[in-house]
Structures are given as structure tokens and as C-alpha cells.
């Protein structure tokens, strides 16, 4: 028998949870192709190492953008590669797959996600929404008549949802998240320092010295890139306060969306959220000072999940064992 698999098909990373084994794969959502032959050269971690460092005939592609499929063929090849790598298929059978999508996806986008999973070799494909699955993975009991709020900040999207009785009461999805914060840092350094840096460097700066609250973190980092004026390599020293400035507007847009969401929910559920607080999940939840930022702005307790990067994949494992709790989106 093939084992059921749950897939967190993220803009930045793909995680796969296999029945009875847990999370067995966590790799970047990147495919490297030879543009002369259209041949796939590398997928996942190997391809990620090539981003920003490829010769002219090799292109490192991220097939998902803002939480949805931007390149269908590449997504299908990437999924097929990962599933083959796991070797979870039985000789005569195909696995059931649960795959997740942001709340703001259209019917067409969801259909593309479903088709990519079907073509990669499965018997039944379920599609459910990321914030619900992440809430389950974070350990929230969303199936009771109690309101819970989750903010899932991934690579391409920030999904905000209030849940009760196993379904979404209110939700919103912004196509701004970790990738946009990296872009903010790149643009800030270009504008204020005349320094060009790549995506990898921006991500490292965000993790190592970034903060969401002024004065919450006081660290420095040496950053190397290319001088815009003379084209030569250049090194500068950056401080946490500068990275907070660069990320401020994007983080505020997520705060504003959270505030608007809380303004739409029934008062009983609002009372539950004051009791239980808001759960932050996704890679963005690890940004220094973010719980304090949300707590100060929303006036409710804010907690970070113990395993924010793995919550969606963990949630798929639970839901595949309880398929009656999956709301399969067509």
C-alpha cells in the first residue's frame, strides 16, 4: 500500500509529511534548468545553491510566486522529483495527497495546484487552506466551538484566519511576506548605500540582525555586494535599526490586515481571542520582535508556534488521519 502524503507547497520551501514517518523532506522550491536544452539540472537544495550564481545557459527558477504556481511545468517536475525521491508508492497503488494553498487563491489557481499533484502520481488529491492546516499543526484545537486566530507568514503570502468548529470564520490573504521583506532590504541598501546585494544575502541579514520593533535588537553585520557607481566589490556594516526601517512598511501592512480582520468577527469569537491570543506561524514568525509588534498593535496576547516552519506539513499529517476534517476545495 502506498502511504498518504501531505505537501506544504510553499513559495520558499516544499515540506512533505509521509504517513507514519512524519516530515521526511524539507527543501527549497527551486528548479535549475539548462535554457539551451530545457533539461532540469537540479531541484531543491542543489538548485538553491545556484541562485544568483549561474552561467548564462543555466537558470534557477522558483516555480511558485506569491503562494501560487507561476510555472506549471516546473512545479509539476519539482513535485514529481520530490515524490520519486521519497519512494512512497506501492507497486500497484498511488498515495493520497493533501496539498495546501493560501486562502486568497482563485478557483483556477487551486485547480493548477491540484493538477500538479495529480500529475506527480497520486490516487486522490485533497486541497485545503494553509492557515487552517497550520493552526492544526501548531497544536490549536480548531474543531471546538471556540475562536482561534492564526497569522501564517510564509515566503510568498501572509495568511490571516479566524477559525471555529474546524472552518474559517473570516480570513484574508496578502501577497506580501518573507520574500517581500528580502526585496525591501535589497532596495534599501541600493537606495541608501549604493550597494547591490542578492536574495541570499538579504535573507541572511533579515535572520541575523533583523527586528520588527525599534530598539528590540542591537546587532551588526558585515555585508558584501557590488558598488552601483563603480561596479567593484564593496563591504558595509549594517545595524538592526536600519533593517527594522527597511521592513517597517511591509510589516505594518500585515498588522493593518490583522486589525481589519479582528474588526469583522462576531463579539463572542473576539472574546475567545482575548483569552487565547493569536498564534504566529510560518517562517516569518521567527523575525525578532514580531510577537511584540502584533501584541502592541492588536492589544491581545501573541504567541509563536513551537515549530513555525513545519506547522503546515504537521497539520497535513493529522488531517490525512482524519479525512472527515478536510474541507476539500474544488
| Residue 198 marked ligand-binding | no
User: How many angstroms separate the CA atoms of 160 and 132, rounded?
Assistant: 10
Positive or negative torsion for Cα 145, 146, 149, 150: negative
Residues 296 and 293: their CA atoms lie apart, in Å, by 5
316 marked ligand binding residue: no
Tell whether residue 283 is among the known ligand binding residues: yes
106 annotated ligand-binding residue: no
156 is in an annotated binding site: yes
Does 285 belong to an annotated binding site? yes
226 membership: H or E segment, kind and range? strand 220-227
Q: Does the annotation list 96 as a binding residue? A: no
Q: Is 60 annotated as a binding residue?
A: no
User: Is there a binding annotation on residue 59?
Assistant: no
- Closest listed residue to residue 287, CA positions, set 243, 249, 256, 253: 243
Judge whether 270 is annotated as a binding position: no
C-alpha cell at 295: 501584541
15 annotated as belonging to a binding site for a ligand = no
**Residue 35 marked ligand-binding:** no
Residues 6 or more apart in contact with residue 51 via CB below 8 angstroms: 30, 60, 198, 199, 200
Q: CB-based burial of residue 227 (10 Å sphere; 0-12 exposed, 13-18 middle, 19+ buried)?
A: middle
The SS3 assignment for 259 reads: helix
**How far is CA 114 from each of CA 242, 293, 305, rounded to the nearest angstrom?**
42, 36, 28
Would you list which residues are annotated within the binding site for ATP?
A: 11-13, 155-157, 203-206, 283-286
Which residues are annotated as part of the binding site? 11-13, 155-157, 203-206, 283-286
Amino acid at each position: 500500500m502506498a502511504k498518504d502524503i501531505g505537501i506544504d507547497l510553499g513559495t520558499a520551501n516544499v515540506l512533505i509529511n509521509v504517513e507514519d514517518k512524519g516530515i521526511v523532506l524539507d527543501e527549497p522550491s527551486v528548479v535549475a534548468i539548462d535554457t539551451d536544452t530545457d533539461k532540469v539540472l537540479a531541484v531543491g537544495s542543489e538548485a538553491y545553491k545556484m541562485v544568483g550564481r549561474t552561467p548564462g545557459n543555466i537558470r534557477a527558477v522558483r516555480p511558485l510566486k506569491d503562494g501560487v504556481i507561476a510555472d506549471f511545468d516546473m512545479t509539476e517536475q519539482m513535485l514529481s522529483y520530490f515524490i520519486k525521491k521519497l519512494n512512497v508508492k506501492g507497486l500497484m497503488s498511488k498515495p493520497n495527497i493533501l496539498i495546501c494553498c493560501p486562502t486568497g487563491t482563485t478557483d483556477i489557481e487551486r485547480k493548477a495546484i491540484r493538477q500538479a499533484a495529480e500529475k506527480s502520481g497520486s490516487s486522490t488529491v485533497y486541497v485545503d487552506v494553509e492557515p487552517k492546516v497550520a493552526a492544526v499543526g501548531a497544536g490549536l484545537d480548531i474543531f471546538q466551538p471556540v475562536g482561534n486566530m492564526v497569522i501564517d507568514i510564509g515566503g510568498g503570502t501572509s495568511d490571516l484566519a479566524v477559525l471555529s468548529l474546524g472552518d474559517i470564520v473570516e480570513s484574508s490573504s496578502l501577497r506580501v511576506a518573507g520574500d517581500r521583506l528580502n526585496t525591501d532590504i535589497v532596495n534599501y541598501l541600493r537606495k541608501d548605500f549604493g550597494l547591490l546585494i542578492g536574495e541570499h544575502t538579504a535573507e541572511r541579514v533579515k535572520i541575523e540582525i533583523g527586528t520588527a520593533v525599534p530598539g528590540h535588537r542591537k546587532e551588526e553585520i558585515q555585508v558584501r555586494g557590488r558598488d552601483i557607481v563603480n561596479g567593484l566589490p564593496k563591504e558595509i556594516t549594517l545595524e538592526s535599526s536600519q533593517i527594522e526601517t527597511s521592513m517597517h512598511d511591509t510589516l505594518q501592512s500585515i498588522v493593518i490586515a490583522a486589525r481589519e480582520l479582528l474588526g469583522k468577527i462576531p463579539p463572542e469569537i473576539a472574546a475567545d481571542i482575548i483569552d487565547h491570543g493569536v498564534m504566529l506561524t510560518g517562517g516569518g514568525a521567527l523575525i525578532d520582535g514580531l510577537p511584540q509588534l502584533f501584541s502592541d498593535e492588536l492589544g491581545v496576547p501573541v504567541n509563536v508556534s513551537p515549530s513555525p516552519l513545519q506547522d503546515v506539513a504537521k497539520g497535513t499529517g493529522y488531517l490525512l488521519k482524519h479525512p472527515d476534517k478536510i474541507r476539500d476545495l474544488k
